[in-house]
A = this chain, B = another copy of it.
Amino acid sequence: MADPSAFAAFAAPGSTKELEEGRALTPKFDADGLVTCVATDAKSGDVLMVAHMNAEALQKTIASGEAWYFSRSRRALWRKGESSGHVQRIVEMRIDCDQDAVWIKVEQEGPGACHTGRRSCFYRAVPLGRTGAVTLEFRDGDKTFDPKKVYGG
Using a CB–CB cutoff of 8 Å, the interface residues on chain A facing chain B are: 6, 8, 11, 20-25, 36, 38, 40, 44-47, 49-50, 59, 62-65, 90, 92-98, 101-103, 114-116, 118, 121-139
**Contact at B94–A133, with CB atoms within 8 Å?**
no
CB distance from A45 to the nearest CB of B (A): 3
**Contact at B8–A125, with CB atoms within 8 Å?**
no
CA distance A9 to B110 in the complex (A): 39
The listed residue (B116, B131, B136) touching A23 by CB distance below 8 A is B136
**Contact at B47–A126, with CB atoms within 8 Å?**
no
- Given A94-B122, A136-B24, also A65-B116 (CB < 8 A): no
- Given A24-B135, A25-B136, also A63-B130 (CB < 8 A): yes
- Given A50-B101, A103-B47, also A128-B36 (CB < 8 A): no
CB distance from A74 to the nearest CB of B (A): 13
B-side contacts of A46, CB under 8 Å? 45
**Contact at B62–A38, with CB atoms within 8 Å?**
no
The listed residue (B8, B45, B139) touching A94 by CB distance below 8 A is B139
Chain B residue with the shortest CB-CB distance to A44 = B45
